[in-house]
Structure 1
Amino acid sequence: MEFNVEDGKHLHDECSTLILPALSIGNVGQLAVDLLISSMRADRIGYLDDPNVLPCVGNDAYIPSPQGDLALPLEAYDSCSNSLCLIQQRSPTVKGMMVELAKNLADFAAASGKKHIVVLSSLDFGRWQTIDVSSGSQIYYLSSACMDGTDDNCDKLGWKRLQDYNPVQRGWKYISTLAEGNSVLEDSLPFEDELGEEDYYPSLPFAALFSCFKAKGLKVTCLLCYCSEGDNIPDAFHLADAACKLLGLNPTNFQGNDGGNWIIPFSWKSVYGPPPDMSLF
């Protein structure tokens, strides 16, 4: 992975917390990072070039009158007023290369002095067996603070640790072994046709990121929500708000956010395409 800095810009040492998405159902993590970047008026400082991410290019995602800045697959933003660095991933990971991408991102985070990594992602609502919707959408977490994935701060915020996380379970052991750079015996490989319900979580991108950042000795917290495919914008607000609570930030105090509310990214205007041609009706 190569980090390319834009002319006249640089990484800021004070931005020691890194927020990034893990691609999953509904793209909720990406939408939440979009919302944070837009609301913080974060400054793009460069982009990451990695062969494990599919190439893509698009219009400026945040400014209605773009100045010719193209959106790229992996972009880095700094919000110095909030001591945050944010990475946005806009295209899928090459199949089978998620662990390699996670290792490269962990190397970048460690080399650039990041102390705390916050991963935002979503989980498939259809796999949740005993869901309780009485209190609305729930935030679940997984933290490197303790061996069992718990974190006192997250518990105080009323969140639940990701159920069924077990660091000695086959899938989690396998991904951790890869993250640490150790060889894996062939008979310990979890073949796709043998995957059970307990292998669902460790097979997701957030698990690779969690394991690789942890293997680098970095503090990492994954914030997760269950969702279905469809309009996931409300889930993005929920996840972005959770990230702010975790870090003690108040969206109404974001620098440049004069209205005191979240700033909707310009690119969201075309999330579902243009409105229907009313002459058809």
Structure 2
Amino acid sequence: MEKSTIWKFFDEDLDEYTLLVPSVAVGNVSQLACDLLISSLNMVKTGSVYTTAQIPVIGYDPYNLKSESLSTSCEIYKSDSKKICILQIRSPLIFKYAKQFLEEVIETFKEKKIKDVIILTSSFAHEKKHILSSSFRYIVSEGNPYAEKIKNGDMEKHENNGGDLKILGGGFASLLYKICLEKSLPCLILFKYSSEGDNIPDAYDMVNKLTLVCSLFSEDKDVFSQLLQPVSWTLLFGRPPPQDIY
């Protein structure tokens, strides 16, 4: 398979790391959660990705106002102390190229010897069938190291009534999960039923749920007190209207 993606790693060491991948989905909950993790854990940018499968985006560093570096639509961040890396995706994938790109993602990180993949995503709130149940659902592959932990996290296993895995509004999460299974790489999907709007609370909730399977923050303190919002969130909804119009 001819590769359509250019990978530039600044640090090659990802041996035994967990890879987090946000799927572009309802409310961008997963990208916001990854932003929150990158900022709170002071993660370091360790690579950048250019692919024809993605709509190009470029802008200022979303985590440091004093930085002179630019950010693009797909970048890799890592935390050595927590042994996790994040493939932060900031723009949608182009459907006809998505499968090949996601296959290259798994092949590339398998070469780096990551140990497993966690996919974060969201689904349409109106698809939640049981009103009093948790807003979170999970799908876990057989033999996954998080299989027992995830059962104790006030979350329910996603009910998939046969056939291919479907998460309505969940973007490419189902496809990436299938690729992980084909490549024999342990995979977990964590998603929340959400609506479009102010999804910052959803991001906080997702990070909190993620800590049930990954040891990311001090257990001596409340998780929420250890989270640091990225500076880019101050412009999440754009600038206020100019006073001249009133």
Query: Under a length normalisation based on structure 2, what TM-score does the superposition of the two structures give?
Result: 0.88
Structure 2 match to 1:73: 73
1:89 deviation in Å? 0.3
- Which residue number corresponds to residue 158 of structure 2? 162
Q: 1:251 to 1:229 in 2, by over 3 A?
A: farther
Matched, 1:152 2:148: yes
Query: Which residue does 1:97 correspond to in 2?
Result: 97
**Structure 2 CA distance for partners of 1:203 and 1:157, relative to 1, 3 Å:** closer
Q: Give the letter for the 1:232 counterpart.
A: N
Q: 1:200 offset after TM fit, Å?
A: 5.3
Partner of 1:143: 140
Equivalent pairs counted in the alignment come to 239
- Structure 1's 260 and 12: CA in aligned 2 closer, same or farther, altered over 3 A? farther
Displacement of 1:202 after TM fit? 9.9
Query: What is the Cα deviation at residue 151 of structure 1?
Result: 2.8
Give 2:20's aligned amino acid.
Answer: I
Q: Residue 234 in 1 paired to residue 235 in 2?
A: no
Three-state SS of the structure 1 residue aligned to 2:60 is coil
1:3 aligns to 2:26 (yes or no): no
Partner Cα distance (2:62, 2:219) in 1:
22
Report whether the alignment pairs 1:62 with 2:63. Answer: yes
Matches within 5 A, 1:30-41: 30-41=31-42
- Structure having the higher helix fraction is 1
**Ranges of 4+ aligned residues in structure 1 off by more than 3 Å:** 199-204, 251-254, 276-281
Identity within the alignment, %: 24
Q: Distance in 2 between matches of 1:33 and 1:253?
A: 23
1:183-232 residue CA offsets vs partner (Å, 9 max, x unmatched): xxxxxxxxxxxxxxxx5549841001111112111111111000000000
Query: Which ranges in structure 1 are unaligned for 5 or more consecutive residues?
Result: 173-198
> Quick check: which one's strand share is greater?
2
- Output the amino acid matched with 1:273: G
Question: Are the equivalent residues in 2 in contact too, given 1:252–1:261 (CA < 8 A)?
Answer: no
Structure 1 pair 215/125, CA: closer, same or farther in 2 (3 Å)?
same
TM-score, normalised with respect to structure 1: 0.77
Q: Over alpha carbons, which structure has the higher Rg? A: 1
2:30 is matched with: 29
RMSD (CA atoms): 2.6
